A and B are shown apart, each in its own frame.
Chain A
Amino acid sequence: MKILTEHIDVQGIETIDVFRKHGGYAAVEKALKKMTPDEVTEEVKKSGLRGRGGAGFPMGMKWSFLAKPEGIPRYLVCNADESEPGTFKDHYLMMKSPHTLIEGMIVSSYALGANTSYIYIRGELMYVATILEKAIQEARDKGLLGKNILGSGYDLDLHVQLGGGAYICGEETALLESLEGKRGNPRNKPPFPAVKGLWQCPTVVNNVESIAATSWIVNNGGDEYAKIGIGRSTGTKLISVSGHVRKPGVYELPLGITVEDFIYADEWCGGIRDGHKLKAVVAGGSSVPILPAELILKTTNGENRLMSYESLSDGGFATGTMLGSGGFVVMDETTCIVHNTLTFGRFYHHESCGQCSPCREGTGWMDKVLYRIEHGQGRQEDIDLLVDVAKKIEGNTICPLGDAAAWPVAAAIRHFRDEFEWHINHPEKATQKGAVFMREGASWSL
């Protein structure tokens, strides 16, 4: 079942004519001519679609929180900052089929009553911004953007804004600050963007994939969408796979298939690369807890773990993780978890905006301690120190970047403490090139 990527490999799908030949912009015709904005919102609510940017918040509910005071403009902002390590699904979609996003932007803006909307895209994706700009121009030429779209009386201007190279500008309030031309510092909440967002006006911020999915929902109805998937995880999800699998890449899958199938079936990742074994998975982008092979494949009740919001978080952080943004990083037995944790730690240290003290100082501290352990200068007490620093950051910061920095460190120690201890106890061995700890009896041990 493919919704977003059905025609993605069609030659010329980035041009409006080919896109329309494959059913493109039908949702705009339908929504603007036959539906009221509230009816569109209602369908999105019925679909059960959850935000694909990471938090998984129900999209229809978010839309219904939007304040609608008379005479004040409202905005829709598409979050295309996608900077989470391991996540590259929005990039793929926009690059190959820009009109899929633009169609969704028109439908969603119409539902929210926004007459100006923005796509905020990470600065490194300059060439994708160019692709989007070109597609927007095509849509404008065909009367799908601008004044009185398709004679419906609805006006919409769509702008693309490039970011300046900061992961933090993916956090929705930092994104709004940046869009306003300021330093990208997250705002304290409340007030939430739905009440005071861009230029202090009511604003909805949604991920590329969330917005793109609305066209299909308008065309086929929310109920149809809700039939795909499992339980409260409705619809399809783009998963970007990297690491030690045979076939890394971006996959669109119906939520609810088993993790085991996803990793091993030929239809998906095709298994671990030849001669190697699965050791660990980071299932939803660098921020979510890492899980060892046995816990990513099965929950502690012995059930198969599924690719769904609920199943991946089964067991809480003790034994579970999160679907997050869908950045699926697979590691085989050659991966050193300490090294990997350092890589993540260094990233968050580099990307913290520095506004609040726990995140600003804590990320730097964890990075330095991890660096020492990785380089053979760890002390026994460093492991508990890391756990404690992570605990002191978590929940005490302005934005979730603090949590996102703390969780991977805490989880790596929770599940791979022996590996950290080995680094500390055997610095000479551990610092040799390519040296990796093998847990005795583990399914991945050689």
Chain B
Amino acid sequence: MKVTIDNITIDVEPGTTIMNAARQIGPHIAPPAMCYYEPLKASGGKCRGCLVKVTAGSEKDPRPMPKLVPSCITQVQDGMIVENTINEQVLETRKGIVEFLLLNHPLDCPVCDQAGECHLQDFSFEHGVSKTRTVEERNTFEPVDLGPYIKLNMNRCILCYRCVYTADQITDGRVHGVMHRGDHAEISTYIEKAIDNDFSGNVIDVCPVGALTDKTYRFKSRVWFSKPEDASCSCGKCSGKVTLWYRGDEVIRVTARKNEWGEVKEFICNTCRFERKKTSDWTLEGPTKIARNSVISANKYGASTIKPAFPLQQAAEQYKKIDDSRDRSFLAPQKQLN
């Protein structure tokens, strides 16, 4: 099947979604995915960050689709023409989605463990505007413990449902879901029942933001000060393929391995994640590949990993001046920058 995305034509298998076709072309064409998670069945369609314009439905029926469509769950048709990064309406709508996602977000990146590997940060950097239009009070929730290993900070949650699908699909005896409706909906384990399940820790990895964090790692380090190494062990419960995050010689965190779209293909067990924190527990396989435009790669590994041309070009294209047009007269006594 032939599909054209942003003027690039590619051949894909029938049944491929627009998102996956675009990913085959490359990261500069792929729409952002805040809720879609390829390994999780039924994920996607919720955040609406990946909406694209279909200007021709198919070769047979070349009419445009009336509304923007979620690329992550819309299958391509032969001869479909899609506009993503070149369509004004798409980009304008995406600005709106960022704004919606940040509306009740606490913007507490400085104290959030996810900062530096947060998809919401990336999404808002790439597609958002630097000014806020809201003056309303934000909705807040108290952080809660989901069992001994996981902290839930609902303020940061974007209700992508990834953790719900993870709990549904890879752990038995689901005790994790969404309660209430609308912007007062919250992730919950019902009566704050502990998630005691060998694979529960994976909800931390699938969470695109800092809503679900690893209590054994909390506040230990900023992610860009740590060094990721791929490692494995012969574990009876899972594949044993992990990423170890080092600060100096100390393993401060263990996560599953993520691919270039930030997705975990092989989920790991809680023993590997929370209990094997000595180098001697593992066979090291070498530094984890980290995209050069990620802050995690700052000052690491020389130039050996990914060729810098593309990320640098992307960074240059996307560089935005900070909008500092607000009234700063109250800063008068201090020395103003610039």
Q: Which of A188, A356, A358, A365 contacts B136 (CB 8 A)?
A: A365
Task: Using A358-B96, A360-B159, A396-B51 as known contacts, say yes or no to A352 and B46 having CB atoms under 8 A apart.
Answer: no
CB distance from A401 to the nearest CB of B (A): 10
A166 close to chain B: CB less than 8 A: yes
B48 and A357 contact, CB distance less than 8 A: yes
A-B contact count (CB 8 A): 92
With contact pairs A166-B181, A364-B104, A365-B136 given, residues A357 and B47 touching in the complex (Cβ less than 8 Å) = yes
Please judge, given known A-B contacts A350-B181, A352-B183, A358-B100, whether A385 and B139 are in contact too, CB under 8 Å: no
Contacts of B96 in A (CB 8 A): 358, 392, 396
Smallest CB-CB separation from B67: which chain A residue?
A: A395
Q: Is the CB of B183 within 8 A of A355?
A: no
Contact B182 A363 (CB under 8 A): yes
Any chain A CB within 8 A of the CB of B1?
A: no
Bitwise, A161-195 to B at CB < 8 A (1) or not (0) is: 00000101000000000000001000010000000
B75 closest partner in A (C-beta): A190
Q: From known contacts A166-B181, A349-B183, infer whether A358 and B97 are also in contact, taking CB-CB under 8 Å.
A: yes
Are the CB atoms of A360 and B185 closer together than 8 Å?
yes
The answer to whether B182 and A352 touch across the interface, beta carbons within 8 angstroms, is: yes
Residues of chain A contacted by B51 (CB below 8 angstroms): 396
* In contact, A353 and B182 (Cβ under 8 angstroms): yes
Please name the residue on chain A nearest to B72 by beta carbon: A188
CB of A60, distance to nearest CB on chain B (Å): 24
**Does B307 lie at the interface of the complex (its beta carbon under 8 Å from any beta carbon of A)?**
no
Residue A116 interfacial (CB < 8 Å): no
Give 1 or 0 for each of B165-197: 1 = CB within 8 Å of chain A CB.
Answer: 000000000000110111111000000000000
Q: A361-B103, A392-B96 are in contact. Are A354 and B48 (CB under 8 A)?
A: no
Whether A354 and B181, one on each chain, are in contact in the complex, defined by CB atoms closer than 8 angstroms, is yes
Residues of A close to B177: CB separation below 8 A: 183
Interface assignment of A398: CB less than 8 Å from any CB of chain B: yes
Interface of B is mostly: loop
A377: nearest residue on chain B (CB-CB)?
Answer: B135
Kindly identify, within residues 41 to 56 of chain A, every residue whose CB is under 8 Å from any CB belonging to chain B: none
Taking the complex as formed, is B68 at the interface, i.e. its CB lies under 8 A from any CB of chain A? yes
Main secondary structure of the interface of A (DSSP, over half): helix
Number of interface residues of B (CB under 8 A): 36
Q: Are B97 and A357 in contact (CB under 8 A)?
A: yes
In the complex, how many angstroms separate the beta carbon of B119 from the nearest chain A beta carbon? 13
Residue-wise interface mask of B (101-119) relative to A, using a CB-CB cutoff of 8 A (1 in contact, 0 not): 1011000000000000000
Q: How far is the CA of A365 from the CA of B44 in the complex (A)?
A: 24
Q: Does B100 contact A392, Cβ atoms closer than 8 Å?
A: yes
Could you tell me if B181 and A353 are in contact, using CB atoms closer than 8 angstroms?
A: yes
Separation of A372 and B73 alpha carbons in the complex (Å): 38
List 25 interface pairs A-B (beta carbons < 8 Å), by A numbering. Answer: A168-B181, A183-B177, A188-B44, A188-B73, A353-B181, A354-B159, A354-B185, A355-B46, A356-B46, A356-B47, A356-B48, A357-B47, A357-B48, A358-B100, A360-B182, A360-B185, A361-B104, A362-B100, A368-B137, A392-B99, A392-B100, A396-B96, A396-B97, A398-B45, A398-B46
Which 6 pairs show the lowest CB-CB distances between chains A and B? A392-B96, A354-B185, A361-B100, A352-B182, A188-B45, A364-B183
- Apart from A357-B46, A364-B104, A396-B96, what are 5 other A-B pairs with CB-CB below 8 Å? A188-B70, A357-B49, A360-B159, A364-B103, A379-B135
